[in-house]
Structures are given as C-alpha cells and as structure tokens.
Structure 1
Amino acid sequence: MSGKAQSADDIIAELAKSPVDDSMKVDKKICSGGKSYPVHLSFDDGPSPTITPRVLDILKKANIKATFFISTESLVKGKPKDINARKELIERMKREGHTIGSHSYAHIEHANSTTTSQQSMMENLKKSFVEMDKLNLPKPLPFRFPYGSGWNVESVPANQKMANFAMNAIKGAGYYPFHWDIDTKDWSKIKRKALPVSALEQICSSKGGVMLMHDVHKWTADNLPVLIESVRQSGHTFVSEPEIRDYSENRASKPLVSLADHLGGPQGCVYVGHLDRAGSKCNTGNNRNTGNTEGVQ
C-alpha cells in the first residue's frame, strides 16, 4: 500500500459502501517506537458444539492459552446432546490449560434498571454461580458482564447503583471482574471488516491487554489464524490469563483498564474500556440503544 496508511475507521467506512468478501488478510502494524506488548485472547458466549472445537484446535496448534467465558444457561437449556457436548468442551478447555470464567446465566444487562430489576438480576447471577460451581473450578474465577453492563460507568444513578450491587455480588461469590481492552467486533458484519488493523491499533493504544472475541461465530473460527499471525507479525506476544494479570499488576506502565473495577468509559465509546476515549462525544445511554452495539458482546 502506497501513501498514508488507512485507519480502522477509514477501512470500515470504505467497506460499508461496497460490501466485499469479509475474510481477513494478514497485516501488521508496528507500534510507536517499535514497542511490542502482551495480548490475551478471550472468548464469550460459548461453548458452541460446532465452533468452539475449531477454536480450540487453532489455539492448540498456535500454543495459545485463552480464557473462555461460559454462558451458563447453555449448560442446562437445549438439546441433551448439545448440553453434553458443551460440558465435554469445558473439560477439554481444562485439559488444554485454558482459563474458564462466567459470562453470567442469561445474556442480560445487569445494570439496566429499565429492563432488569435488582431481584431478577441477582437471580440471574445466582443461577450462574450454581452452574459454575458444578464445574469444580478453583476460585477465584474471572467474570465478564454481558455487554460490559455491570462493569461500565453508568450515567444514570439507578443503573450505577445496580452496577455496584452486581459487582459486589460477583466478588462475594468468589469472582473478579474481567473486561476487555481490545474489541475485535467479530460479531459485526461491517466492523469486523476492519480487522486485523482495528485490533492492532487497539493493541498499540492500550499497550497490550485483553482481546475480546466470540466462539459462537463461524467467521471467528475461519479468521482466527489470520488474526493470530497478524498480531505476531506486529511483534506482540500471546500470553495466558495469569500472565496478563501479572503484566498489568507488575510490568505495565499503568494497570490495564480491563482488569480494574468500574473504570470503563461511558457506554457507546468507539473502543469501550479505553479511558482516553471516554468523553462528551460518547453516548452514555442504554447499551442496546447505542450506536456501536449491533450484536452480542
């Protein structure tokens, strides 16, 4: 490519005008000063009986340890053969050295007082705790709030009260919040077309961190090898969940936003979780009504 390199936003705007094959191509971006950073892969919404096995195969071949945030409702609802397959996949995750966390029970907004009562929110969390306990995992465990609702800063006092309540509830049950720094938008047919550039930009701006993907989309499994190669060609290293926490606590210039409590930017920012992006330009309304929530997170 000649001339000035395109930004992720430029790529999105261009591709949105003329849809093309959205398969990813290997690219690389060197951060300012040639710096490289640790990256931890994480996956939400699974396990999927068809997609998660492919993701695990790719990670095994690439020697990468990831975190899988389990939608625990899927462990009790659905066809018996699918429920058994999901539980077997969790056992495989354990054997292969991945970290397993909770993505709650139903995929609700835990800090939305207009759609969820505090009582129903707590019932949802308790159901998740019960199913996670059946997996015999050592605590503490990571917990990722669906949509980031419960972790994000809320502009509505009633919502922030619910967020505080939810945060205290998960901590009391032996969990710690685990957000993301690098959002691949792999669920968005438009925004994922900016990959891998969009992810590489975020790695540089956040100085490494936790990358969010979803192990329920065929596109994600199809393109994961290319993303991995792009990150590595850009000089970065994939690390495990304990390693990214150690980096944040002991080696980073400042702690990663993803591993802090309630430090996310207001909902609707371009890159949710980046403090330097939080400002008046961000939409602080309901997650499901913001411009950048086109699918499931």
Structure 2
Amino acid sequence: MPRRPAKKSWLSNRRGWLVALVVALGGLVIYLNPSASPAPRSSQPPQSAAPATPNRGVPVDPQPTPPHRSTSPQRTSPPEPPPVSRKNTPTPLPHYPEARPQPAAPWADLKVANVFDPRIVRRVKPAGEARPVALTFDDGPWPGTTPAVLEILERKGIKATFFWVGRQLERYPDLARRVVAEGHAVGNHTYSHRSAASELEVAADELERTNALIEQVTGVRTTLFRPPGGHLENGLAKYALERGYVVVMWSALSGDTDPKYSAADIVNNVLSRVRPGSIVLLHDGGGDRSRTLAALPELIERLQAEGYRFVTVPQLLESGEVDTHPWATTGP
C-alpha cells in the first residue's frame, strides 16, 4: 500500500510563519525609509550643482563656502599699499620742542643783536653835549633781587643791561624772560662765573654754553661779554675777542659787593667816578643785595639831576666812539 505522506509538525509550520513575518517587516521598514536602501551604482562621475568656471591662472580658494552666508554686503578692508623702497622713504621731520612765547620784537629799539667791533670797552665818548650813562647788573638772574631791580627801573622809566651767569639762567628762566620782556639788554657773564685761567676748550664752553642758553630761553642772540671779576688775562676775554664779542668792562665802580660800603657809600662811589658815556657796575645776584636795592633809587635820581640820560650798553656803543684814553682803558 502506498505510504501516506507524513503530516508536518506544528514546529515546522510555525517556523515558516516566522520567516514570512520577518520578510514582511523588512519590506515595511524599506517602504517607510527609502534612504536606507543602497544607492544605485552609476558609471557616470558625480556632477556638481554649480556650473564649472574655467581657471584663468587665479588660485582657487581651498576653503569651502560656508553653508549659511549672509546676503548683506560685507565690509572689505582697503588693500595694503605696496612696500616702499628705502631709497624713496621720506626722511621724518625732526621733532622740535614747543616754542616758548616770546615778547614781540623786544629788541626793535635797542638793537641788541647788532654786531659791534670786538674790543674792550669801559667808556664811550658821546657826540656833542649828550650825557649818556649805562647801568649794568651782574651775576643774575637772582630771585628777589632781580624782580626788585626791575620794579625800580620800571618806576623810574629807564633801561639797563644785565650780564647773566649761565647756571643762574637755567635755574630762573622766567626771570630772564621778564628782563627781556621789559626791554632791557642782556650779556654773557660765563656759565659758572669762572675767573680762573682757562684753556681754549674751557673758555669756549663757558661762553658758548651761556650764549646758547640766552638764545634758547629768551630768543636773543647777544655779542656782549663781561669777564667775571674784570679779569682780562685768564683766557676768557681773549677767546671772546677772537670770536667777535665786545668785552664790556666799566668806568664807574659802585663797590656794592664790598660789605664795608653802605648804601650811601655806593651812591657816592658812582657819583665820584661817573662821566658822560660811563658804564656803571652794579650787581643783582651773587648774594644779599639789599644795600644795592637801597642805593639804586637815590643813585638814579642824583644822576638824573646832573643831566644824565640812562641807556643800555648797545645804545651807548651806538652813541659815540669808544674812549681810548688811558683813563678809560687801564683800570676799572
């Protein structure tokens, strides 16, 4: 008898159902997520969405374009200038310190910058019946004394000549500017009030350093020089004459640095020696000058009463000839 086919067991039937169920679920997943399916292979190379631009020798930017670029215009910095050759580089202008305010034409009438013949001057022979006299003050500028002298001169309406020590000028430049602003003449009295023997280099430093300071502080260039102590043999006066300075001495010594003289003695010393064209020696610096300040008003009044007219040294040099008489050249 033919054998009947054996009935499949329940286990094999269930396995078939499980396989069918897995296949169905896989198809459902593919249907819901088509990107999960593998991309079809193509023999053509991928094409870029942007049209190709021919390369004309310009390097291509290796950086990719950012995905979200603003549509607003972008600020671009100006192109840098090409490097300048050192040969064409302009030389920078020198830096000068700020100019100090100067009085308007302080020497327009006094002609202090005039160049006179270099010589030793103690007195000038004035023309005609003129009776000029020049008051001179040494060793300043000096705090206290110099302003007091300026006040007396302003009150009397006269001008004088101040011979400055360079180191004092460095300490009190404002006083120096005031002297110039009020119309007085100025001269060189060395930097350190040196009276010792001086070699050429030392003499040059003493005079030229002070002249440079005078010009720097006041704007005035002077050719007047007075040797400290009146010494003419120590090399300073020799250097000054060789460089075109006028060596200004004196013919009426007041003695105001000598403690034995009172204010009245100072006045009498000058009056006994003064003549028309004389140069009077006084001091506004170097120490206590209270006796000079006490004598000055009376001295001015007494000289005015005798007909003298007060001038500066440059004005005196322009008023006549330098006196070469032995009395005017052999001593103070």
Task: Sort the TM-score into its range (normalised by shorter chain).
Answer: 0.5 to 0.7
For each residue in 1:234-279, what CA deviation from the matched residue of structure 2 results, as whole angstroms up to 9, or x when unmatched?
2322123333112233xxxxx2469xxxx842xxxxxx34xxxxxx
The structure where helix makes up a greater share of residues is 1
Aligned to 1:98: 184
Q: 1:197 to 1:162 in 2, by over 3 A?
A: closer
Are the aligned partners of 1:209 and 1:256 in contact in 2 as well (CA < 8 Å)?
A: no
TM-score by length of 1: 0.60
What is aligned with 2:193?
Answer: 107
Q: State the TM-score, normalized to the length of structure 2.
A: 0.54
Aligned residue number for residue 204 of structure 2: 122
Q: Is the 8 A contact 2:142 2:168 kept in 1?
A: no
Count the aligned residue pairs: 199
| Matched ranges for 1:139-218 at <5 A | 139-150=221-232, 154=233, 159=234, 163-169=237-243, 171=244, 175-191=245-261, 194-204=265-275, 207-216=276-285, 217-218=289-290
Q: Structure 1 runs of 4+ off > 6 angstroms?
A: none
Shift of 1:139: 3.4
Letter in 2 for 1:188: D
Deviation at 1:191, TM superposition (A): 4.2
- Alpha-carbon displacement from aligned partner over 1:61-95 (angstroms, at most 9, x marks no partner): 0001011111111133xxxxxx2xx2111111122
Which of 126, 135, 140 is the matching residue for 1:46? 140
Q: How does 1:1-297 map to 2 (within 5 A)?
A: 37-76=131-170, 83=171, 86-109=172-195, 112-113=196-197, 116-150=198-232, 154=233, 159=234, 163-169=237-243, 171=244, 175-191=245-261, 194-204=265-275, 207-216=276-285, 217-249=289-321, 255-256=322-323, 264-265=329-330, 272-273=331-332
Partner residue of 2:9? none
Q: Distance in 2 between matches of 1:66 and 1:120?
A: 29
* Residue 231 of structure 1: how far off its partner (Å): 1.2
Question: Is the CA contact 1:181–1:256 (under 8 Å) kept in the aligned structure 2?
Answer: no
CA RMSD of aligned residues (A): 2.6
Question: What secondary structure, in the 3-state scheme, does the structure 2 residue paired with 1:65 have?
Answer: coil
Residue of structure 2 in register with 1:292 after alignment: none
Partners of 2:261 and 2:320 lie apart in 1 by 28
Tell me, which stretches of 5 or more residues in structure 2 are unaligned? 1-128
TM-fit CA distance, 1:218: 1.9
Q: Distance in 2 between matches of 1:200 and 1:42?
A: 15
Task: Tell me how far 1:140 sits from its aligned partner.
Answer: 4.3
Q: Equivalents in 1 of 2:160, 2:296: separation in Å?
A: 13
Secondary structure of the equivalent of 2:257? coil
Q: CA deviation at 1:164?
A: 2.4
User: 1:210 & 1:126 partners in 2: Cα distance?
Assistant: 24
User: In the alignment, what sits opposite 1:269?
Assistant: none
| 1:286 corresponding residue in structure 2 | none
Structure 1 residues 53 and 163: CA distance shift in structure 2, 3 A: closer
Which letter maps to 2:269?
S
Instruction: For 2:266, give the aligned amino acid.
Output: L
State how far apart, in whole Å, the 2-side matches of 1:166 and 1:246 are: 20
